[in-house]
Amino acid sequence: MPISKSFSPVKVIVLLLTMIVLFTLPFLVSSFILRIATGIMMWIGLALSWNMLGGYMGYISFGHGASFGVGAYIAGMLMTQLHLPFFIALIIAGILTYIFAALVGYPTLRLSGSYFAIGTWAFAEMMRQLVLVLSVTGGAEGLRLPPMLNDNFFYFVMLALALIVFLVAYLFFENSDFGLKVKAVREEETAARTLGLNTTWIKNQVFSISSMFAGIIGGAFAYWITFIHPDSVLGPLIADQMVIMVLLGGIGTLFGPILGAIVLYVGNQYMLVMWGQSSAYLIILGFSICLVILFLPEGLLSLPRIIKRKGSFSRLIQQKNQVSK
């Protein structure tokens, strides 16, 4: 659903209100709620970044967690070993993740469909194994970053990152020539090439940009939780959640990933509060993916449209029955 080009007053008011709430939130809610909001912002950013590659371009990656983890570790190592300040470390982590993704993307993007999914999955697992055996990353002991305990700070960092990713998605993917090119790659790559599109370059750009954002968010995450470990930042759960959030919300749309991130993250936090750390979360996660794919492949965002259609259909049946009486 593209945001229409018209500037209706309602839309402007909603936008302003949302911005005001988002920017004053730390002063309105408890630190517990604020931390949840921070997590929501982080996952909105991650889901939107995955959607660039998987939704707009149709290259479903099961290894996007690798970019997140690589960014987390680069930022972490820059801060612990080179004692760089946070924002510098973050920017460098972003740049290095971009370069890393560009290099990895070049061979990987030659794969298509299922092979691409398996390839990214395998690559991400390999990264986790690699970080586990290397000592410079702290290996299985993990990496401890300089502590920073400021809820407001991290909320605004994650908010800013989420807004940046959203703007990039809105300006460059949803309503632009570049976005059309990306979607053309998704629809019919060969035909797109015969229309003058350099699809290799387009794919590489999207892969790199999408990974870069995940990496920057990973770097911020590392500083936020202070201690990272291959299982926490390079484990399959990060990639799983990104995929499910976007599928749940509506793949290939602008607001789908946002909706999916909010629903899943809040649901997860609720479960944590009620039942503690539980593997039951995995059951719900897996079950949700299956249900969404079976019954709502276009995600929650398509629900209003489907209900409307079913509504008019049943009205049609009613009319028909009345006529034939």
Partner 1 sequence: MDLLEIKNLSHMFGGLKAVSSLNIKVKAKMIYGVIGANGAGKTTLFNLITGIYHPTEGQILLDGTSLVGKQSFEISRLGVARTFQNLRLFNDLTVVENIHVGQIYHRKLRKVKTKDLKAKIGSLLELFGLDSRAEDKAGNLPYGMQRKLEIARALATEPKLLLLDEPAAGMNPKEVQGLVSLIKEVKRQYCDITIVLIEHQMKLVEGLCDYATVMNFGQVIANGTVKEVQHNPIVIKAYLGETEVG
Partner 2 sequence: MGLFTQTFINGILIGGIFITIAVGFSIAYGVMHIVDFAVGEWIMLGAFTAFWLNVYTKIDPLLLIPFIALFFALIGYLFQPVIQKVVNIKHRSAAMMALAFTFGLSTLLRGSALTLWGFNNRNLVTMLSEKNINLFGITLPAIRGVATLFSIIVTAAFAYFLYRTKTGITIRAAAENKTVAGLMGIDGHRISRLVYSIYVGLTAMSGVFIGCIFSVFPDMGLRYTAFAFFVVVAGGMGSFSGAIVAGLMLGLISSFVSVYVGGAYVFLILFFILYLILVFLPKGVLGKGW
- Residue 195: CB minimum distance to partner 1, A: 5
Q: How far, in Å, CA of 52 to CA of 218, rounded?
A: 17
| Window 198 to 227, contacts with partner 1 (CB under 8 A) | 198-199
| Among partner 1, partner 2, none, residue 114 binds (CB under 5-8 Å by kind) | partner 2
Beta bridge partners of 227: 144
- Residue 251: CB minimum distance to partner 1, A: 11
**Taking the CA of residue 25 as centre, how many other CA atoms within 13 Å lie in the half-sphere pointing to its CB?**
24
How far CA 314 is from CA of 147, 296, 303, 309, 310, in Å, comes to: 60, 20, 16, 9, 6
- Residue 8 phi, psi dihedral angles, 5° rounding: -75, 145
Number of residues that bind partner 1 (CB under 8 A): 18
Exactly one of 39, 58, 94, 249 binds partner 2 (CB under 8 A); that residue is: 58
Q: Is 4 in the site for partner 1 (CB under 8 A)?
A: no
| H-run or E-run covering 132 | helix 113-133
**Piece in contact with partner 2 (CB under 8 A), picked from 64-72, 88-96, 124-132, 200-208:** 124-132
For residue 295, how many other CB atoms are within 10 A of its CB?
A: 8
Q: Is 15 in the site for partner 2 (CB under 8 A)?
A: no
Alpha helices in 226-302 (DSSP H): 230-233, 236-249, 256-275, 280-295
- 8 Å CB contact between 67 and 207: no
The number of helix segments (H) and strand segments (E) in the chain equals 14, 2
**Piece in contact with partner 1 (CB under 8 A), picked from 19-27, 98-106, 190-198, 315-323:** 190-198
**Piece in contact with partner 2 (CB under 8 A), picked from 34-42, 104-112, 146-154, 307-315:** 104-112
Q: Is 168 in the site for partner 2 (CB under 8 A)?
A: no
Exactly one of 177, 274, 322, 325 binds partner 1 (CB under 8 A); that residue is: 177
Q: Which residue has the tokens 């801060």?
A: 79
Q: What residues make contact with partner 1 under the rule CB under 8 A?
A: 177, 180-181, 183-184, 186-188, 190-199
Q: What residues make contact with partner 2 under the rule CB under 8 A?
A: 58, 60, 62, 107-108, 110-111, 113-115, 117-119, 122-123, 125-126, 129-130, 132-133, 186-187, 236, 240, 243-244, 247, 278-290, 293-294, 297-298
